[in-house]
């Protein structure tokens, strides 16, 4: 068995609450920068209690040459924060061919998603 086999995908039961949805906000605001957003529980909010919550989420960028870059990670404090991350890119969005995300629920484990751009 490989560790990656334990990671749950957008096809897994419970996906609505756990899959890190990746959105791109192109040319955002006055600075016209690109923002990549992760939202966990976009369609169905995930529980947000000490006993059951999203612990962290992380965003990766896959460059055109295949190199994987860790773009940012956030730890969430249950009840005080929501599992949403906005990451501002300092390089053109076109340098990436995909974005990947991981999220971790303290009850239901590790979840992944990939958005090709």
| Residues annotated as part of the active site | 16-18, 46, 52, 105, 108
Cα dist from 105 to 51, 61, 88, 91, whole Å: 10, 22, 25, 31
Beta carbons within 8 Å of 33's beta carbon, 6+ residues apart = 27, 88, 89, 90
| Shortest distance (Å) from residue 44 CB to Fe ion | 11
Interface residue list for Fe ion (CB under 5 A): 105, 107-108
Q: Which is nearer to Fe ion, 27 or 44 (CB)?
A: 44
| Shortest distance (Å) from residue 69 CB to Fe ion | 27
Q: Which is nearer to Fe ion, 15 or 108 (CB)?
A: 108
- Which pair of structure tokens corresponds to residue 113? 């998603």
């Amino acid at each position: 068995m490989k560790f990656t086999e334990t990671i749950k995908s957008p096809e897994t039961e419970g996906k609505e609450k756990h899959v890190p949805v990746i959105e791109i906000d192109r040319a955002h605001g006055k600075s016209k920068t690109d923002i990549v957003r992760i939202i966990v529980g976009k369609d169905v909010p995930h529980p947000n209690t000490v006993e059951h919550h999203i612990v962290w989420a992380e965003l990766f960028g896959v460059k055109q040459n295949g190199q994987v870059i860790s773009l940012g990670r956030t730890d969430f404090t249950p009840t005080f924060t929501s599992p949403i991350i906005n990451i501002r890119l300092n390089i053109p969005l076109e340098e990436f061919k995909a974005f990947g995300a991981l999220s971790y629920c303290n009850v239901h484990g590790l979840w992944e998603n990939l958005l090709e751009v």
